[in-house]
Amino acid sequence: MKIAILSNGPGNYTTKRLKEEAKKRGHEVKVIKYKDAYTAVESNNNTVRYKGENLERFDAIIPRIAQSYTKYGTAIVRQFEAQGTFTTASSLAINRSRDKLRAYQVLAKAGVGIPKTVFARESASFEDIVNLAGGTPLIIKVARGTHGNGVVLAETPKAAKAVMQAFYVEGVNFLVQEFVKESAGTDIRALVVGGRVVASVKRQSLDGDFRSNTHQGGEGVAVKLTEVERKTAVKAAKAMGLPICGVDMMRSERGPLVLEVNSSASIKTPELITNRNVAEKIIEYIEQNAKRRPKKDKIGA
């Protein structure tokens, strides 16, 4: 098969591993820096241009779209979709997962456990917002944050109000969330490929931060998921329409609570820590599914 990896970082661990495994299995692979790809939008012409030439047709694409390039990257993915090219993540699903408000609504509707979450815009009903989120300490996070940037822990109502007001004046959409104390500083990342969890790691912050993102200095350790956690991860992936993704969960007294579903999860820590060959699983998934007609997205959000 001809496979394209859409990645602005050809040297990234995940990109390199996907390329390596695809080649090993006899496929032709090309890494495309989607930020340099462009296209003439005209009827009956869905070509994608790259370095002054039309790109050939691919059997499958693997979008690895960075948060900061969501709009542009998904527009390029859409262009490939218009050609009928198989994609491991649809442009619709990537966009859905990047908006936290929308993602939580979709997860809640599917019956996936999430922390108590409140969306608000004005501070007029401030006390009610704090109560709905379970009182302080509480978490306030911007709708489009990533790597732990944009997630704030407010210890007191005063601090919470000040943070919310700061976001209001800047016009930033945010959500207010119950602080899951039981697992402060840790979370679980389950990598799902084709409806199965293929690797899972527990991430913990090393410096006492409540955020466990490895970008915030968190460290990954292998973890064995409970049956409920496994099912939750698979259900969250399905709800979001992402057959290949990283599901972040927190362990709480009322079971696993999903924090987010990542459409371009890194496979680095999971592969290095668990010794599982995740890249191979992804290529196998493509081999098994690329020939089928893409399923229609029926999530409706």
Ligand X SMILES: Nc1ncnc2c1ncn2[C@@H]1O[C@H](COP(=O)(O)OP(=O)(O)O)[C@@H](O)[C@H]1O
The residue ranges that bind ligand X (CB under 6 A) are 115, 139, 141, 145-151, 177-180, 184, 187, 210-213, 248, 259-260
Length, in residues, of the chain: 301
Q: Residue 279: what residue type?
A: A
Taking the complex as a whole, how short is the minimal distance between the CB of residue 223 and ligand X, in angstroms? 14
Q: Which amino acid is at 298?
A: K
3-state class (DSSP) for residue 126: helix
Closest CA to 195 of 250, 233, 248, 249: 233
- Report the alpha-carbon distance of residue 231 to residue 163 in Å, rounded: 35
Contact 292, 272 (CB under 8 A): no
Q: Give the footprint of Mg ion on residues 222-251 (CB under 5 A).
A: 248
- What's the CA gap between 52 and 37, in Å, rounded? 9
Q: Which is nearer to Mg ion, 258 or 279 (CB)?
A: 258
Which is nearer to ligand X, 77 or 140 (by Cβ)? Answer: 140
The span from the CA of 154 to the CA of 172, in Å, is: 17
CA distances from 206 to 92, 120, 149, 266 (A): 36, 32, 17, 20
| Among ligand X, Mg ion, none, partner that 113 touches (CB below 5 to 8 angstroms by kind) | none
Shortest distance, CB of residue 257 to ligand X, whole angstroms? 8
The one of Mg ion, ligand X, none whose footprint includes residue 50, by CB under 5 to 8 A per kind, is none
Closer of 180 and 191 to ligand X (Cβ) = 180
Q: How far is the CB of 252 from ligand X (least distance, A)?
A: 9
Nearer Cβ to ligand X (37/118): 118
- Residue 81 interaction partner, one of Mg ion, ligand X, none, beta carbon < 5-8 Å per kind: none
Q: What is the DSSP string of 182-214?
A: GGTTEEEEEEEETTEEEEEEEEEESSS-S---G
What are the angstrom distances between the C-alpha of 217 and each of 158, 180, 249? 28, 20, 18
| Among ligand X, Mg ion, none, residue 151 binds (CB under 5-8 Å by kind) | ligand X
Where in 2-31 is the site for Mg ion (CB under 5 A)?
none
| Binding partner at 70 among ligand X, Mg ion, none, C-beta below 5 to 8 Å by kind | none
CB of 13 to ligand X, least distance (A): 18
74 binds, among ligand X, Mg ion, none (CB under 5 to 8 A by kind): none
Shortest distance in whole angstroms from residue 295 CB to ligand X: 27
CB of 202 to ligand X, least distance (A): 11
**CA 12/CA 268 separation, integer angstroms:** 9
Question: In the structure, how many helices (H) and strands (E) does the chain have?
Answer: 9, 16
State which of positions 253-272 bind Mg ion (CB under 5 A): none
From the list ligand X, Mg ion, none, pick the one residue 146 interacts with, judged by a Cβ distance below 5 to 8 Å according to partner type: ligand X
Nearest approach in angstroms of CB 107 to ligand X is: 12
Number of residues that bind Mg ion (CB under 5 A): 1
Q: Are 105 and 301 in contact (CB under 8 A)?
A: yes
Binding site for Mg ion (CB under 5 A): 248
